[in-house]
Amino acid sequence: MGAKTGLLVYADSEVPGLLRRVETADLPRTFAMMQRLYPGWEIEQCAGSTLGDGVYPPTGTAYAASWPGVDVIADQRVMIDFPSRLPEDLVAASAGRRLVLHAMHSGVDWLAFAVWEDGCLVRSLSLSPDSGILENLGEPLPFELPYWAGDRPADVISWPDEEEEPYALPFHPLELGEDALRALCGFVQEGRPEPDDIDADAIELYGFHVRDPHGPDPAEQEAELRRVMEAMDPPRFYTLSPDGSLVERDGF
């Protein structure tokens, strides 16, 4: 799985039904929403994306669209380990509405999602195999129940130099993440689409460069990332052998 998301949705009712009816979003309305959610930030329009491709924007970029009844914002800054700690101004903006947070990262098998109703948190879950269950607040939602009941065990391939051990969680977070995305927002990132899924690739989002004037300098952050990457060991590549085991090979 290679799915990554950092998504917030504000809605007057169930998100999937509202997104099925949207057309082209109004740019001034969307820009006004960005100003409300990023008070004091520098906001500059840039190339946009779609809901299908834009749920994990580059650092410093947000994709967003606002329609009557539903607002969508994709931004890496909502990818937080504890959804209940979402900045209060973002939660307060959901007064009288439903707020959905969905965040996952395939590189570490991490998933977090949360739902607020009229500003009150009703469900929050965050977990990964390395960290375990970071947050588990409220009653599980219907789409979660088969996972907690043990009906969706994780199916994980072990690396050749590792002992085969049980997966650290009773299910795979990314599999639950796709079901959460479908149930809460009406579409999936990976896996087979279902007939009732919305066409996320047909929903256009505007793009914005966003910068906190009091935050770290993006150029310095990028330079530090380059230094870290240069210090990393060379990548290792594997292929499946006829018996199904993984065998290391040279390059691509």
Q: Is residue 99 part of a domain?
A: yes
How would you class 229 by CB atoms within 10 Å of its CB: exposed for 0-12, middle for 13-18, buried for 19 or more? Answer: exposed
What is the structure's pLDDT at 231?
A: 79
- Domain containing 162: what range? 4-216
Please state, in angstroms and rounded to a whole number, the distance separating the CA atoms of residues 88 and 107. 28
Q: Is residue 235 part of a domain?
A: no
Q: Is residue 241 part of a domain?
A: no
Do the Cβ atoms of 169 and 154 come closer than 8 Å?
yes
Q: Is residue 227 part of a domain?
A: no
Please state, in angstroms and rounded to a whole number, the distance separating the CA atoms of residues 236 and 181. 32
Q: Is residue 60 part of a domain?
A: yes
Q: Is residue 201 part of a domain?
A: yes
What is the structure's pLDDT at 6?
A: 98
Please state, in angstroms and rounded to a whole number, the distance separating the CA atoms of residues 167 and 158. 10
What is the structure's pLDDT at 1?
A: 47
Average pLDDT of adjacent 10-residue blocks, the chain of 252 residues: 89 97 97 97 97 96 98 97 97 97 96 98 97 97 96 72 74 96 96 91 97 74 69 68 68 54
Q: Is residue 252 part of a domain?
A: no
Do the Cβ atoms of 27 and 206 come closer than 8 Å?
yes
What is the structure's pLDDT at 90?
A: 97
What is the structure's pLDDT at 229?
A: 67
What is the structure's pLDDT at 19?
A: 97
Domains of the chain: total: 1
Q: Is residue 198 part of a domain?
A: yes
Tell me the residue type at 101: L
What is the structure's pLDDT at 83?
A: 98
